[in-house]
Amino acid sequence: MMKEKFKNHIHTLQNTITKRLEEIDGKATFKEDKWNREEGGGGITRVIENGNIFEKGGVNTSAVYGVLPKVMQDNLGVSFGNFFATGLSLVLHPNNPFIPTVHANWRYFELYDKDNNLVDQWFGGGQDLTPYYLFDEDAIHWHTICKNSCDKTNLNLYPKYKNECDKYFWNIHRKEARGVGGLFYDYLRPTQDTTLDTLFNLSSTVGNSFLEAYLPIVECRKDMAFNQSQKEWQEIRRGRYVEFNLVYDRGTLFGLKTNGRIESILMSLPPNVKFIYNHEPLPNSEEAKLVEVLKKPKNWI
């Protein structure tokens, strides 16, 4: 069954990612918290804090099921049934402001009728990069791996999902992107031309490429010296990250409205953030260079 296949995949991926992140950090290890959902299912939350490289981060998996909550019924336009949802979600907030924050999520959903017959199923997910200082070569590398992982399924997918990512991770009230984007896709259903296994292969290929996309950037930037002013800029920009997650992010809002596990939902928030009134970077500074790029999505490759 696909739900078991995908659940096994994300658990394996969780182990692979957390093991490699611990190795590169060299100090902190992931604290594991297994939890159960009263309505059905549960998950494994793994959080890393106060490391050499990662100030805070989480790599979480869940597999939940039960009666479809009212808010989901409204979103999906149905008035019945049960559901099953499983996925992996990760966020990493580095200490060094020259290393970008990164977010990724890969998920699978099934919907059943009143008699528990499968009536719908789809994949969703993606990954995006949020730098505090812009290095073009990092963004190019990130997008190259994103493109390569999509191209293994279909050469038309990367530009489509890259565009969807640019539209989704957009702070409307700020008129700026959260970062330099990546991939975003949702409601990928099997069709006459695309099998369920093809969609699984796409999602698993993207997920399996995550370390290849992110860790070379970490390795390149982790030993760069930074000062207090640059750290403060990182914390100011983290504020924009928080704004997006609490105002627009579907996953965060869905979790808060459906009695989700609060600690796992808010794991994505950074530990130290600054909100400074009407802050503007100095003209022609490296900080201003980043903000200028975020005002309009860019094709990096």
Query: Where do we find the tokens 């999505």?
Result: 297
Strands (E), the chain: 31-36, 41-49, 54-67, 82-94, 101-112, 118-130, 170-171, 176-177, 181-188
Burial class (CB in 10 A: 0-12, 13-18, 19+), 61: buried
In what helix (H) or strand (E) does residue 146 lie, and over which residues does it extend? helix 136-151
- What whole-number distance in Å separates Cα of residue 287 and Cα of residue 281? 6
Contacts with 208 (C-beta within 8 Å, 6 or more apart), sequence order: 13, 149
Between vectors from CA 34 to CA 260 and to CA 113, what angle results, nearest 5°?
50
User: Given 103, 141, 143, 279, which residue is catalytic?
Assistant: 103
16, 77, 281, 286 from 237: Cα distances, Å: 29, 37, 11, 13
Q: What CA–CA distances, in Å, run from 43 to 95, 174, 230?
A: 27, 34, 37
Cα separation of 110 and 84, whole Å? 5
**Using an 8 Å Cβ cutoff, are 300 and 140 in contact?**
yes
Cα(169)–Cα(297) distance, rounded to whole angstroms? 10
Q: What is the DSSP string of 84-96?
A: EEEEEEEEEEESS
The answer to whether residue 279 is catalytic is no
d(CA 142, CA 163): 15
- Is 263 strand, coil or helix? helix
- Hey, which residues are catalytic here? 103
